[in-house]
Chain A
C-alpha cells in the first residue's frame, strides 16, 4: 500500500510540476510573441511562395531541394497546413492561459499599500492642516478631476486610492475575447460551411449539389468601355450582370439579378457573380458527314473532345472576342466584334500546335476531319457560399476593435496617497502613480497633477516644503 501511495504522490507532484511549467510558459507574453513570430513567418511564406500550384510549377521555379521541401512541408498550401492550424491553436491556448493567469491578476490588482518612494513615479510635499483636512482636500481635488476615490485602512494607516479609467483595465480582455470569437466564427465555417463554383450557360439551369437550389441563367450582359490613357487604350469593364431564375427550398421560381458586389441570397446561401466566358458550339465533320455527338455539345474554355477513331484530340483553349481584321491576330478589345477561337490539337499526349480560327471558318485537323467553331453562347460563373460563422466573425471583429480602442486610448492609472503628521500643524503628503503601461507614458501628467495639487489653498509652497521629489528611477 505504502509504495503505491508514494508512487501516486510522485505522479501527482510530477503532474503539478508539469502544469506549473505549462502555465509559466504559455502565460508568458514573450512566448506569445514567439508564437506571433512563427505565425508571421508562415504567413509570409504563403505570400512569397505561390499557393496551390501543381508540383511541376515549384520544380520549375525553385531548385529541386527547395521545391521538394516546399511540397513535403505543405508550404504550397500553407494556410491549410497542420503548421498553420497548429500555430493558431497554440496562440489561442496561450491567449487563454495568459489571460487568466497573468492579464487578469495584473490588470485588476486589489487595493494594497505601497512604499511610496519605491515607485518610480512619486512625489512628497508638505501641506498645512491636520491629517483629516488634508486628506479630504486631496480627495476633493482629485475627484473633481474625475478620479474615482476609495479609502482603506491597512495596519492602522489610512490610504487613499484614486483611479482613472479603471473600467478600461478590461480593454485587453475585450480585445482577447474578440480574437477568440473571431477564431470561433472562422472555425464554424470550416466545420459547417461550404462553398463552390458553377458555370451556367445562357438558357440552361444547374442544380447546386449541396443545397439542391436550381439556378437558371436567362441572360448575361457586360459593359466594357474603351478609354484612352497615357499609356494607351484600356478596355475598362464597367458592369457584369446575370439575369437568373432561382428555385430554392420552397419550390417557387424567382427572377433575380446578380451583379458584382450584389450577391443574392437563396435559403441562406449567397450566390456571387464571379466570372464569365464564352461557350462554343463546334461543327465537327468527317468528309462531309457531321459527328453529331460532338456537334451537339457546348464546350467551355479549357474543354476538349476526341476525334473519333484517332489518338487525336482538339481543345477549345480560349475565345478571342475580336480578331484584328488587318493582321488576323487577336486584339486586346474584349468586346465581341469579329470573334474567333484558339484551338489546340494534341496527338497521344503531345501538342501538335495551336491555331486561331475565326468563327464559322473551318480548320483541318487531319485524316479528313474538319472543325468549325459555329456559334458562341455566353456563360456566367457563380461562386456560392454558405457560411454560418459570419455573425460570429462580425461580432468578434466588433469586440476586437472595441478592445483595441479601449486599450490604446484610455490609460488606466492609479494614485496611492498617504497623508502623515509632520508636526506643528503640518502634514506630509506622499503620492505615487502606476499605470498599466509603465511610468513613462504618465510622467508629464503626473508632474502637472502634483504641481496643481501643491497649489491647493493651504498647501505650503514648494520651497518651504523643501522641494518636490519626483521623477523616474533608472
Chain B
C-alpha cells in the first residue's frame, strides 16, 4: 500500500470506530466511550489532512479538483469544525452523528478515486486553491449545523410528546433555560422517567439553537466568499462571473436558504423549531448542490475548454 492509501485507510477506520464509540456515548453516556472516540476522531482528521498533503506532494496536482479529493476535504473539515466546537462548547454527545456522516461521505468519495490526473486548463488556476476549500468548508459547517438541528428537533418533538403525557401536570420550579424550554421533560424526569432524564442531559433547546446559529455563522460567510471567488475565477476562465450554470445557481439557492435562516433567526418568534427546519432544508439543498446537480442535471460546470 502506498502512503496515500495507508493514510486513507487509517482515516476511514478511525472515523468508523469513532462514530461507533461516540454514538455509544450519545445513548449510554459512558465516559470511556467518549475518551475512546474523541482521540480517534482527531486521529482520523489528522490522517485525512496528511493524506491530502501527501497526495499533493507525490503528484504535484492540487488534490481537490475531483469528487474524491473534494469529498475527502468535506469529511475532514466537518470533523475538524466539529472538534473545534466540541472542545469550545463541550459537545461530545453529537460526535457520533458527525463522524458517521463523515465516514459515509469519505467512503463514497473513495469510490470516485480515479488515480491522479493533471488538471484541465480551466482548472489550472490559483483560484482553485482558494475557491474549492472555501466552498467545501462551508458545506462542512452546514453539516455540523445540520447535525445539531437534528438533535434540536429530536429534543423539541420529545418535549412535545412529554407535554401530551399525563406526567406533564407536575409543575417545575426554578430558572435556567433547561427547565424553561422543556418543562414537560423536566417534570417527567423529576417523576422518574429515564427517557426524560436522558434527554435532560442534552443541552437546552436554546443552547442547541445557539450552536446551530454559530455553525451557520461559519458556513454563510464561507459560502459567500466561496461563491464570490468562484465568480472571480469564472470571470478569469470564461469571461463572465455569472453564467447561471446549474452548479453556481444551486449554490445561490443554498445561500438564499441560509440567508433566510439568518433573517428568521433575528425574530424571537421564529427562532427555534422553524429556523432549525430551515437549517435541515438548507443542508438538503447543499447535498443537492454538491452531489445532486452532478448526478441529475446535465451539462453543468461544463468547463468549456
Output the least CB separation between B62 and chain A (Å).
13
B236 — nearest CB in chain A belongs to which residue? A261
Which residue on B lies nearest to A231, using beta carbons?
B114
B129 to chain A, nearest CB (A): 13
The answer to whether B305 touches A275, judged by C-beta atoms less than 8 angstroms apart, is: yes
B side interface size, CB within 8 A: 59
Using C-beta atoms within 8 Å of the partner chain, give the interface range for chain A: 35 or more
Structural contact, B118 and A272, CB atoms closer than 8 A: no
B209-227 interface (Cβ within 8 A of A): 209-210, 213, 217, 220-221, 224-225
Q: Which residue of A is nearest B256, CB measured?
A: A40
Q: Which of A347-404 contact B (CB under 8 A)?
A: 381, 383-385, 390, 393, 397, 400-401, 404
Judging by beta carbons under 8 Å apart, are A44 and B253 in contact?
yes
The yes or no answer to A16 lying at the interface (CB within 8 A) is no
* Cβ contact within 8 Å between A234 and B117: yes
- Closest B residue, CB atoms, query A44: B253
Q: Are B267 and A437 in contact (CB under 8 A)?
A: no
Interfacial chain B residues near A443, Cβ < 8 Å = 177, 206
Q: Which residues of A contact B207 (CB under 8 A)?
A: 440
Is the CB–CB distance between B305 and A240 below 8 Å?
Answer: yes
Which residues of chain B have C-beta atoms less than 8 A from A97's C-beta? none
Q: Tell me if B115 counts as interface (CB < 8 A to partner A).
A: yes
Cα distance A186–B237 in the bound complex, in angstroms: 19
**Does A141 make an interface contact (CB < 8 A)?**
no
For residue B166, CB closer than 8 A to chain A, the reply is no
Contact at A237–B209, with CB atoms within 8 Å? no
| Bound-complex Cα distance A408 to B289 (A) | 24
How many Å lie between the Cα of A286 and that of B105 in the bound state? 64
Which chain A positions have C-beta within 8 A of B293?
47
Shortest distance between the CB of A79 and any CB in chain B (Å): 5
When the two chains form their complex, are residues B120 and A237 in contact, meaning their CB atoms are under 8 A apart? yes
Does A441 interact with chain B (Cβ within 8 Å)? yes
A195 touches B239 (CB 8 A): yes
Would you call A393 and B180 a contact (CB within 8 A)? no
- Encode contact with A along B235-265: 1 for CB under 8 Å, 0 otherwise: 1111111101010011011001101100111
Q: Is the CB of B239 within 8 A of A385?
A: yes
B244 touches A51 (CB 8 A): yes
Kindly provide the distance from the CB of B180 to the nearest chain A CB, expressed in whole angstroms. Answer: 6
Q: How far is the CA of A261 from the CA of B235 in the complex (A)?
A: 9
Shortest CB–CB separation between residue B28 and chain A, in angstroms? Answer: 27
Complex CA distance for A237 and B268, rounded to whole angstroms: 54
Nearest CB of chain B from residue A384's CB, rounded to whole Å: 7
Picked from A230, A237, A276, the residue with its CB within 8 Å of the CB of B113 is: A230
Additional A-B contact list (5), CB under 8 Å, known A40-B260, A384-B239: A30-B264, A47-B297, A239-B121, A262-B236, A404-B224
- Interface residues, chain A, with chain B CB atoms under 8 Å away: 29-30, 32-33, 36-37, 39-40, 43-44, 46-48, 50-51, 79, 186, 195, 225, 227, 229-231, 234, 236-240, 259-263, 270, 272-276, 381, 383-385, 390, 393, 397, 400-401, 404-405, 408-409, 437-438, 440-441, 443, 469-474
Residue pairs across A and B with Cβ atoms less than 8 A apart, 6 shown, are A29-B266, A227-B117, A236-B120, A238-B120, A408-B220, A471-B175
